[in-house]
Amino acid sequence: MQLRFGTNLTSEEYIRQQAWQEAMLERCPLHPEGGCGVRSHGSYGRKVPAGLRIARFYCRLGQTTISLLPDFAAAWLSGTLGEVERVVEHAEQAPALASAARDLRPELIDERSAVRWLRRLMRAVQSALTALVTSLPELFGTAPRIAALRERLGIKGAGRGVLTRLRALGERMVPHLRAPLGFLRPLRARSDDEPDRQHREGPDPGGGHR
């Protein structure tokens, strides 16, 4: 399972400082009463960004690996929330999803796969943003879009910071929000014609070890 590692560090700072070594797990999320033998279990590396490592813990009683994901990191996806944010904002401002997909994934010869990729990402992020703006009083009335949320949060400068800030602000909801903002496993790619699915809240269905 994944937990938040609250940090204001950027990915560059986190990597330079090897900050995963300082990630602490105060109590086991499965056994907050303690006594389960949870302990450090090293770290694992991500390919992107290069050099990024994620601290890991292991609960012996629950036979569960627990990863501490720094706030800037996308969940269930390589890369950072800042990169996700730039993609989503570009798509929000583009005249059509297809043109945004062409801009963002020019290497994909098959435009349909670029559109599918972008549509999946947009749905996942929009479902998380919608849940946040309808649940957090400080965001009530804000459109579930990057630009509107940036303004509401008073973040200066486009292209960074909104999703990372929401990870912290919506901390209690994050386990129930769809990845890459939240920790819920991405929906499997099904048919493109599938109508938009309602966001469902609930415990992480992945639950166990990975």
| 38 versus 101: smaller Cβ distance to Zn ion | 38
Place of tokens 């269930």: 76
Q: Please choose, out of 62-70, 96-104, 182-190, 201-209, the segment that lies near Zn ion by the rule CB under 5 A.
A: 62-70
Q: Quick check: 25 binds Zn ion (CB under 5 A)?
A: no
Site for Zn ion in 159-188 (CB under 5 A): none
Backbone dihedral region for residue 158 (phi beyond 0: left; psi -120 to 50: alpha; all else: beta): beta
| 26 versus 110: smaller Cβ distance to Zn ion | 26
Supply 85's token pair: 């944010």
| 59 versus 88: smaller Cβ distance to Zn ion | 59
Pairing of strands 53-59, 64-70: antiparallel
Q: Quick check: 36 binds Zn ion (CB under 5 A)?
A: yes
Distance in Å, CB of 58 to Zn ion, minimum: 9
As a whole number of angstroms, the distance between CA 52 and CA 50 comes to: 6
User: 30-60 burial by CB neighbour count: b if 16+ within 10 A, else e?
Assistant: eeeeeebebeeeebeebeebeebbbbbbbbe
186: Cα separation from own chain's centroid: 10
Q: Quick check: 116 binds Zn ion (CB under 5 A)?
A: no
* Residue of 59, 101, 163, 179 interacting with Zn ion (CB under 5 A): 59
* Residue of 10, 15, 19, 31 interacting with Zn ion (CB under 5 A): 31
* Residue of 9, 30, 169, 187 interacting with Zn ion (CB under 5 A): 30
User: What does the CA dihedral 178, 180, 184, 188 come to, rounded to 10 degrees?
Assistant: 80
> If binding means CB under 5 A, how many residues of this protein chain bind Zn ion?
7
Binding-site ranges for Zn ion (CB under 5 A): 28, 30-31, 36, 38, 59, 62
